[in-house]
Amino acid sequence: MPTISCFYNRLFFRPPYVLTFVQFEKFIKVSLNSKSVILTNAELASNKRLYQIFILSLLLTKDTSKIDLVVDECDGLHNYGVATMKHWGALKLPYCYEFTQITRTSKKNPLNASEPKRASGDKKCRKFFKSFHTFYENEMIKETLIIYEEFFYVQMIDLFDYFDRYIEHESKIAALSSIMHTYGRDVYRSVQRFM
């Protein structure tokens, strides 16, 4: 069964760039806004930048085995998309997942598609990678490692807060215990009132 992941990047007031990855068993379909290409897994792994964004899209997508359907209230059309964390320029990642519409195949469910028979040709790959490098050089103002750090910070903030409170509490106990054993109960009670 294919899986889908999405990386949404927007630089301030410019139009967003949506990289969608639909992974099959032997091939992976990569879409950058309106351009798409079919690559083998080895071709994807050989391009370092694209592979880093692919891994990042897997982390930022809520559920890679599920696609969301939104029905437009005005005209009743079905739009498919993925719940993902959106990356907005210089801002940090948000704490929640938002619906991101798949731009290339928004009217069809890409998870119902059959696996491609072959990879895209050289000319189509060159055109795609030219637009991808333009996107990466002009729109990505943060390196992917910084976005990884932001993601892990968002996911681990509750754990960090718990350990900070735990360390503070244990330090207070150790200090009061040392005062009690060194100076006695009367000094301990006086110090405890101020802590």
pTM exceeding 0.75: no
pLDDT at 75: 75
pLDDT above 80 (res 192): no
Write the pLDDT tens digit of every residue in 37-82.
Answer: 999 888 888 888 889 889 888 888 888 888 877 777 777 777 788 8
- DSSP, residue by residue, 141-174: -S-HHHHHHHHHHHHHHHHHHHHHHHHHHHHHHH
